[in-house]
Structure 1
Amino acid sequence: MLELSYARALATPLMDGTPQSGPLPVPPAPAEEAAIMAEWEGDLSAPRVSVMCFAFNHGDYIRMALDGFLMQRTRFPFEIVVHDDVSTDGTREIIEEYAARYPNIVRPILQDVNQYSQHIWPITFCMPVMRGDIIAYCEGDDYWIKPDKLARQVALFDAYPEATVCFHPALEFNEATGEHSLICRYADSVKKISAEAVIGLRGASIPSPAFSFRRVDATVDAMMASYRGAPIMDFFLQSYMALQGETLYYEDAACVYRRNAKGSWTSQQQESEAEQRYQRDMISAIDVFHANTRHMPHSDSLYIPLYHYFKQYVMAPASPMQRLANFRQGVALLSHMDRSRLLRLVRQDVMTRLIGTRRRRVTPDSAVQKRKSA
């Protein structure tokens, strides 16, 4: 099977993709639990797939997420493990309602103290209790729209034993504009995506509600430890699993990814200071992540996102002096990755622009002063 390279994937509309006409698809009202489970075969207490859903103040969205999970038509059992991090907008009550209606399918994890504020990712609580050998991820403000999503992904995992990741395109819905577009469509058939592409595109390569991965028990603790202090989870989870084996893509847009949803990460990255803080934290997190994955093939692909975030962090301030300060601080953040390798990557653009900016500010004035003194 053809493997798509980083260069090929880079040419794909990842975000702000092909505009779509017509109404945005929504999942139907779900069937009763008995009707869903009637199609299952094998041991009903041993789900093949665990749906992992993280929710926080998703009261306007969580029903659609749960309905999208429950619309799945499969011959294998699945479970829905949904984690609520002390929502205050009715999200928890909706989850409890669904758990009461689908007691054999929906398994809530309801926190009494917000864990994210303590820098603890919800996956920390979900992984130990999920029973499936395939994990399908979707946050509570996104949702699925195709009833065969899980069936297709499981079939691909079964057909390709070396695969550790499987995903598909998405419809991206922009809450700010009300428009939706097709993103991350790499091809019109099943393909492999290189680990370099998954890592190099910095999380944009895989829409989060399209992402599923094979559970490898021996790596769970190491996986979570590798990005415990990271400012986001998706990029590192995707990268870690892509480094474990092959990444499979299929062509059907089976989910909706919300952009600029209330309280979402994309809605928060607006202010310059927040962006610079995020870039700085990503530099540090990638450095630690590389230290934990350097023994894996293709782990040096992490120099691609490192270069990206370093360049953004250095060039973000308007002041040349602050850019230089960010440059020095960014380099100092690296404790494990090769600083000289990073400097070779940035020499042609970041360092040249830094020096050029300073010369444009100083040299003309100096020349004028010399002419006057002459």
Structure 2
Amino acid sequence: MDLAKLKAPSSEEEITKHWKYTDKVYVSVICTTYNQESYIRDAIESFLAQETEYRFEIVIHDDASTDGTRKIIEKYYDRFPSIISPVLQKENKHSQGQKISALAVSFSKGEYIAFCEGDDYWCDSKKLDKQYNALQENKNILLCVHDAFVINEKNEESDYKFPKRKYKKQIIPHREIFLEKGQFSPTASMMVHSSIFKPLPDFYYNTPVGDFFIEIMGGVNGVLYLPKKMSVYRRGSAGSWSVRVLKNVDRLTNHNLRMITSLDSVKKELDIKGSLINKKKRHNYLGLADIYWKKNKIESIKYFLLSLKAGLMKDHLRFFVDKIY
């Protein structure tokens, strides 16, 4: 695994000297963070280390962190004031029910949006350049993603893997987004045209996670996939989604229920086949069946049958064997 962390140049001039096109902001890097002082430096350094011909900005949204995250952001802003745009909230917006990703994007100016959460980072200094150029070669495609390394809380290679794909540049059909049980692509791999945020559909503000729904909106004409691993995803880091939700039964239950509701809203508001929506929902139904098995077997059976109705998959056999035998 090549997890070498990128190092930021010492000045703005060293970054902007690569910029050949400066008439507008071509890419806005969106970083959302909360209480990630142990990780945020790696993320910011990897943004600043990008070598591209196109002018970019870095919008860092801190949701009123209570640790040292804000001070770290402020120090970087002092050094790179024309590149970094800090959004430092005085009150936690997530706890108020606001959609942080949408809020952060509202401060951006770029033609394209590149995402990276505060506990992840990029490991290729040409990432932005490669993705922007690839999208320019495929003008009808709105979303570009790539592969990523995955590490655990000990900075060791994780057993978790993103979907295995052919090691070649390709356009993945839109329908494939709905077929994945887990995450279709790493959040830190996503570069999407800003037009999908203007405006965002109402349902987006009530979704339990934003990345999947950005993928289905941005991937309507297919998803441009680059095989190289250009980012690092920390799984199980303090404050991460995998810790907050996957390891909390009540939150995981709520997540699955909200996903089902959100998918129903997608079916109503976007021109997407109901069969695709159902293929994604079956994973949430089976997740609920698994959760309810120990505390309410009737509810468990109900969700198991709903998942079967939405389409058969290998996980059904695994569930049956684990629970019955």
> Same-fold call, TM > 0.5?
yes
Give the C-alpha shift of residue 300 in structure 1.
4.1
Please give the secondary structure, in 2, of the residue aligned with 1:64: helix
- Does residue 1:189 correspond to 2:154, yes or no? no
2:235 pairs with one of 259, 282, 297: 259
Equivalent residue letter for 1:310: Y
Give the structure 1 partner of residue 5 of structure 2: 26
Give the whole-Å Cα distance in 1 for the aligned partners of 2:152 and 2:252. Answer: 20
* SS of aligned partner of 2:53: coil
Q: Give, as a single letter, the amino acid of the residue that structure 2 aligns with 1:26.
A: K
Other-structure match for 2:283:
308
- Give the C-alpha shift of residue 146 in structure 1: 0.5
Task: Give per-residue Cα distances to partners, 1:267-291, cap 9 Å, x unaligned.
Answer: 1211333322222222122212222
- Report if the CA contact (8 A) 1:50-1:130 is conserved: yes
- RMSD value, Cα: 3.1
In the TM superposition, 1:336-347 aligns within 5 A as: 344-345=309-310
Q: Match of 1:277?
A: 254
**In structure 2, C-alpha distance between the alignment counterparts of 1:79 and 1:29, rounded to whole Å:** 14
Name the structure 2 match of 1:165. 143
Q: CA deviation at 1:292?
A: 1.7
Q: Decide whether the 8 Å contact of 2:31 with 2:59 is kept in 1.
A: yes
Which sections of structure 1, spanning at least 5 residues, go unmatched?
1-19, 332-339, 361-374
Query: Deviations along 1:108-163, whole A, 9 cap, x unmatched?
Result: 11111101111211223222221111110000000001011000101111000111
CA distance in 2, matches of 1:354, 1:248: 34
Question: Is the Cα–Cα contact under 8 Å of residues 203 and 238 in structure 1 kept in the other structure?
Answer: no
The Cα shift of 1:227 comes to 2.0
Match for residue 56 of structure 2 among 78, 91, 100: 78
Give the distance between the partners of 1:348 and 1:179, measured in 2 at CA: 28
Query: 2 CA distance for matches of 1:106 and 1:175?
Result: 28
Give me the whole-angstrom Cα distance separating, in 2, the residues matched to 1:352 and 1:255: 34
Q: 2:226 matched to 1:250? A: yes
Q: Secondary structure at the match of 2:144?
A: strand
Q: Which moved more, 1:65-74 or 1:167-176?
A: 167-176
User: 1:313, 1:180 → 2: CA distance?
Assistant: 25
Q: Confirm whether residue 238 of structure 1 aligns to residue 215 of structure 2.
A: yes
Change beyond 3 A, Cα 1:353–1:324: farther
**How far did residue 344 of structure 1 move?**
3.0
Aligned to 2:65: 87
Provide the residue aligned with 1:228 in structure 2.
205
Aligned residue for 2:190? 211
CA change 1:233–1:341 in 2 (3 A) is same
Q: Does 1:108 align with 2:79?
A: no
2:184–2:212 CA contact under 8 A, matched in 1: no
Matched residue, 2:20:
41
Which amino acid in 2 is paired with 1:233?
G
Q: CA deviation at 1:199?
A: 2.4
Distance 1:350 1:38 in 2: 52
CA 1:305–1:93 in 2, change beyond 3 Å: closer, same or farther?
same
Q: Is the 8 A contact 1:56 1:87 kept in 2?
A: yes
Q: TM-score if structure 2 supplies the norm length?
A: 0.88
Answer yes or no: is the 8 Å Cα contact 2:3–2:123 preserved in 1. Answer: no
- The structure with the largest alpha-carbon Rg is 1
Q: What TM-score, normalized to structure 1?
A: 0.77
Aligned residues: 322
- Distance in 2 between residues matched to 1:235 and 1:191, nearest whole Å: 20
Q: How far did 1:304 drift?
A: 1.2
Q: State the one-letter code of the partner of 2:215.
A: Q
Contact map agreement 2:6 2:122 (CA 8 A) in 1: yes
Residues 281 and 310, structure 2, Cα contact 8 Å, conserved in 1: no
Moved more, 86-95 or 191-200: 191-200
Shift of 1:221: 2.1
8 Å contact kept, 2:162–2:185: no
Q: Check whether the contact 2:6–2:123 (CA below 8 A) recurs between aligned residues.
A: yes
Measured in 2, the distance between the counterparts of 1:231 and 1:127 equals 17
